[in-house]
Amino acid sequence: MHPDASAAAARRCQEARGIPVPGTVSQRLSDTTGQPARPALARAVVDLAAIAHNTRLLAQHARGELMAVVKADGFGHGAVQVARHALAHGASWLGVACVAEALALRTAGITQPVLAWLYLTREEIEAALAAAVDLSVACVGQLRQVAAAAEATGIPARIHLKIDTGLRRGGAEAADWPQLICVARGFEQRGLLDVHGVWSHLIHADRPTHPDTAGQIRAFDTAVAQAEDAGLRPALRHLANSAAALDAPVTHYDLARAGLGLYGIEPVTGAGFGLRPALTLHTRVLMTRGVAAGKGVCYGHDYTTPAATTLALVPVGFADGLPRAASPGARMWLAGERRPVVGRIAMDQCVLDAGAAAAVGTGDEVIVFGPGHHGEPTVKDWARWAGTSPHEILTGIGPRVLRHYQEAPHTPHHLLEGRTP
């Protein structure tokens, strides 16, 4: 493929998948200089020092190499910024879901190995080959598609064969594995591809010591042995996620894939490994009003004030990533206390009950969630209130939210005390 055509294909893949393309209007609103690119009502401060710390910690626990998983725009933190810091502090690989995400990393100048595991079209495959992106292969049909693209472009593919060890999502079933490795070996002998890895996913992502994991390890070992018997020599075997990297050394093999842990969310319930949450989401009070007891608030008047109080309007809603299911029950940090979200969370705004005695005014800063060190809610709190996972909260942060990156730990004292800087 001609380089110009490859670049055009890469850009089309990124735009079709909604991946930010530098220099286009689709690029996510971000601030890497400390100066706002444009006005924003909400801001996500990403602590890159925390990303570096978490990467080092995960790399120390992993027995082999570490893959930093930066899919979904780095779990909402910014894929390029997270990738660069992870690579500088112990990661040697990057992992993404779709090819467009991998191409965005290449467009940003990142040259280290990247694995992408979701793709559908020939154009995506050819763009991946041109950009030296590794591809996951889970069935013979997919393998033939990749080999055909390699033959057409003259660029050998580097692939990771995926075996389903029990998750029953992606990956070849055990009954289909012998055919897959046989066909892969044939294409490898023809110079069309290199089987660089064999991999699988754990069933119990947050409980790597679950009894089912032992069966998965046996199935994985069998699949690797069969691949080697067929003449394949994969350099990388990988099964472990963040939780397993920290808590189940038997799953480590040659590489561990760190997703949630990279962003400072403890992946094992009840365990404390010293990870540091990297994102603080905050906004400001847009207006306040005093209301009497017995007054309904927001759509449907699901909430009625039990006493005279001060209501604070906050300009973030479910379009910005606050799940509507979290109300009632959710809290935000305002003027040194957790204040309840009252009424329904709307698309663009929600209301806090600040209490009658609170000295709260327009412009006061509000922490939606943060590390929790000072009492502010955490992303795990929001996940609990909404009945979902931290992954969903983080990746749901909308494009209207300004991303701000800083190297030092984020300690917004003026936010915590409710003062405007």
Is 67 marked within a binding site? no
The answer to whether residue 71 is catalytic is: yes
The two tokens of residue 355 are 């209490």
Burial class (CB in 10 A: 0-12, 13-18, 19+), 4: exposed
Q: Which residues contact 268 (CB under 8 A, 6 or more apart)?
A: 206, 207, 208, 243, 246, 247
From the candidates 263, 299, 303, 380, which is the catalytic residue? 299
HSE of 65, CA atoms in CB hemisphere, 13 A? 18
Angle value at C-alpha 368, between 68 and 314, nearest 5 degrees = 140
If we measure between CA atoms, which residue out of 82, 156, 39, 113 comes closest to residue 402?
39
Calpha distance 27→283 (Å, rounded): 22
Instruction: Decide if 380 is catalytic.
Output: no
Spatial CA neighbour of 229 closest among 160, 178, 172, 289: 178
300: Cα separation from own chain's centroid: 35
DSSP three-state, residue 55: helix
Helix/strand/coil (H/E/C) assignment for every residue in 74-133: HHCCCHHHHHHHHHHCCCCEEEEEEHHHHHHHHHCCCCCCEEEEECCCHHHHHHHHHCCC
Question: What 3-state DSSP class applies to 1?
Answer: coil
- The annotation status of 347 as a binding-site residue, yes or no, is yes
Specify binding-site residues for substrate. Answer: 169, 347
Catalytic residue positions, numbered:
71, 299
Specify binding-site residues. Answer: 169, 347
